[in-house]
Amino acid sequence: MGRRYFGTDGIRGLANGDRLTPELALKVGQAAGIHFLDGGHRHRVLIGKDTRLSGYMLEQALTAGFTSVGMDVVQVGPMPTPAVAMLTREMRADLGVMISASHNPFHDNGIKLFGRDGYKLSDADEAAIEARLEGEVPRAAPEAIGRARRIDDARGRYIHAVKASFPEGLRLDGLKVVVDCAHGAAYRVAPEALWELGAELDAIGVAPDGFNINANCGSTYPETLAARVREVGADIGIALDGDADRLILVDETGRIVDGDQILALLARSWQLSGKLRGGSIVATVMSNLGLEKYLEALDLGLVRTPVGDRHVLEGMRAHGCNVGGEQSGHLILADHATTGDGLLASLQVLAVLVADGRPASRVLRLFDPFPQLLRNVRVGGGRPLEDPRVRAAIAGAEARLAGRGRLVVRPSGTEPVIRVMAEGEDEALVAATVAEVCDALRAAA
């Protein structure tokens, strides 16, 4: 049975629209609270958020829901998603909640849930919570209603944890860094952590107003960062997204470095230092074939998963790997975090850069990507991927790319679109196969 509320990364939608309302947030608080009320201890949920205007509304509605079923609430304010995961585990909370729509514009928002261990909830847990959303939940007696409090030292705790991942004795003195925080959740923690490690810092995207999160900035619009890096003559640029679980880099020339190149760098660095586990890294079906070929040359494997950092993490745990991520910049370093962490990953890259001593343009370009083309086809409903015309187009494209490239066709988990990606040595062939499949999808939509 399909899910009504939960998607690939929690619950997401237009804030105060038809779906993501304060009424729903209150019910989520009640349903999730009841689901995790087990044992005789006083139960606690930790709630963080990014900088969207609607975060206030959803935070208070969730708080009302949790306290109404007897859970205490700890509010930490604007905080990166990985910080919420870390603090949930550190503070022995029964549940963690992040209010964010990640890289989406301000008018969207979402609710992400983490378990006691700091990992995103399993499908079974989400299904159980969703089932409770459809019915009534038992509310606490007046004397058992939960309390809510806001803590002020959460930012410092996260900064300390992130800095602890940086090699002891190494500093960023003399390195000029531009960081773009996308006017999002990391607008304070990222500059502070980098400054404390000694970087000569230029911070942009650090003036959130509730509306400007991800607007022409951050990891989904790295052109702003690239221009700034060139303008100030920085050694490297760091772009985070709205909830800081993604990382895209810019070298000193202004060239953009995606998640695949970062994965290649970390795989080689950790392999040389003996830290890499599992003899492989984990990436999704969208990662470039060039990454796979580069890893083969290092005698390393590439485990591919469906799109989504949760799938990547599941693949990492199944294969005993400690490095994984997505081309989009979700990077999971399991020795240090339970979910994607853009700031933490950036520090690992900076450590390599400082130790190497060469310019970022020399260090961060490890392989030449195969020509790759991604197109989105908007769909209004139905099942276009089951249409005979679409199936025939996909089969024909796969036949032409056989041995020379790859084709990936998948529905988005966050938008009403079908994503069509092809890559291979022949750029013209790649473009032709994508166009053929897209045309078939439009005809069937």
Long-range Cβ pairs for the range 302-308 (8 Å, 24+)? 306/410, 307/8, 307/410, 307/413, 308/8, 308/9, 308/284, 308/413
Cβ proximity of 192 and 206 under 8 Å: no
Q: How far is CA 51 from CA 116, 202, 245, 292, 325, in A?
A: 25, 21, 14, 37, 25
102 catalytic residue (yes or no): yes
> At a CB cut-off of 8 Å and minimum separation 6, what does 22 contact?
16, 57, 58, 60, 61
Rounded to 10 degrees, what is the CA torsion of 100, 208, 189, 270?
60
Backbone angles phi, psi at 318, to 5 degrees: -70, -35
Question: Each residue of 389-403: b (16+ CB within 10 Å) or e?
Answer: ebeebbeebbebbee
Q: Is 442 in contact with 402 (CB distance < 8 Å)? A: no
Alpha-carbon span 116 to 94, nearest angstrom:
5
Tokens matching residue 184: 């999002």
Residue 288: which of 304, 299, 310 has the closest Cα?
304
Q: Which of 250, 223, 47, 33 is nearest to 128 (CA)?
A: 33
Q: Which of 54, 100, 102, 269 is catalytic?
A: 102
Which three-class secondary structure state does DSSP give residue 414? coil
Quick one: CA torsion of 119, 123, 129, 130, rounded to 10 degrees? Answer: 140
d(CA 222, CA 178): 12
**Is residue 104 within 8 Å of residue 214, measured between CB atoms?**
yes
The residue written with tokens 């998948």 in the block is 410
Alpha-carbon torsion, ordered 100, 106, 109, 112, to 10 deg: -10
Give the residue numbers annotated as catalytic, written as ranges: 102
